[in-house]
């Protein structure tokens, strides 16, 4: 029986490399997968899952209007698994399509993303993945500044912490640090 999985973690917790690893493992056994990612993520290039260690792979970009269910339902051969990066940027409608893929097409879906934004508010996509997922797993990493577990993302601009502004600002290590709660409140910058 297929299930909906949500693997979340702070920046630099290995979410994208995990997608690439899972895809490789399926395909090595001649089991096709489909990889999707949010069209909002343009750090490397729209329509690519890219890891900080240099691996990347083309993916189907998701916008608010993407018919994810239709793409999967019409794909031949039937995929063994659906892998989705940057789930935090997806809409409720997108997440409900992932649920339908699991429940109606009996294809497992593994979604990966951030849980909370730089102000520690849930993203829309994360909220609905946490609501609908059959299995939820935290991917761990360490705080940029100390040895504690990173559970938050600190936004920085010109070397200074940022605590207000738009929820979504695309960026990498130049814009965000994975941090513990203590260092989020009082970063040693």
Query: Are the C-beta atoms of 173 and 180 separated by less than 8 Å?
Result: no
Query: Are the C-beta atoms of 86 and 40 separated by less than 8 Å?
Result: yes
The owner of tokens 């593994």 is 110
Question: In 10 A of CB 186, how many CB atoms?
Answer: 10
Separation in Å, CA 79 to CA 49, 82, 120, 127: 18, 7, 35, 26
Question: In 10 A of CB 30, how many CB atoms?
Answer: 8
Distance CA 170, CA 46 (A): 12
Burial of 163 (0-12, 13-18, 19+ CB in 10 A): exposed
77 preceded by a cis bond (ω within 30 of 0) = yes
Q: Looking at the annotation, which residues are catalytic?
A: 86
């Amino acid at each position: 029986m297929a299930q909906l999985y949500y693997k979340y973690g702070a920046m630099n917790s290995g979410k994208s490399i995990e997608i690439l690893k899972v895809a490789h493992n399926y395909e090595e056994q001649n089991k096709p997968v489909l990889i999707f990612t949010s069209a909002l993520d343009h750090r490397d290039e729209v329509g690519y899952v890219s890891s900080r260690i240099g691996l990347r792979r083309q993916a189907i970009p998701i916008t608010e209007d993407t018919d994810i269910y239709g793409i999967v339902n019409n794909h031949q051969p039937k995929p063994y698994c659906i892998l989705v990066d940057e789930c935090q940027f997806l809409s409720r409608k997108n997440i409900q399509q992932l649920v339908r893929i699991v429940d109606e097409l009996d294809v497992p879906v593994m979604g990966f993303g951030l849980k909370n934004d730089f102000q520690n508010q849930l993203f829309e996509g994360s909220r609905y993945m946490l609501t609908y997922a059959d299995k939820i797993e935290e991917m761990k990493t360490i705080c940029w500044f100390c040895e504690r577990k990173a559970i938050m993302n600190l936004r920085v601009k010109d070397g200074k912490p940022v605590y207000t502004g738009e929820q979504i600002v695309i960026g990498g290590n130049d814009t965000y640090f994975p941090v513990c709660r203590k260092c989020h409140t009082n970063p040693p910058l």
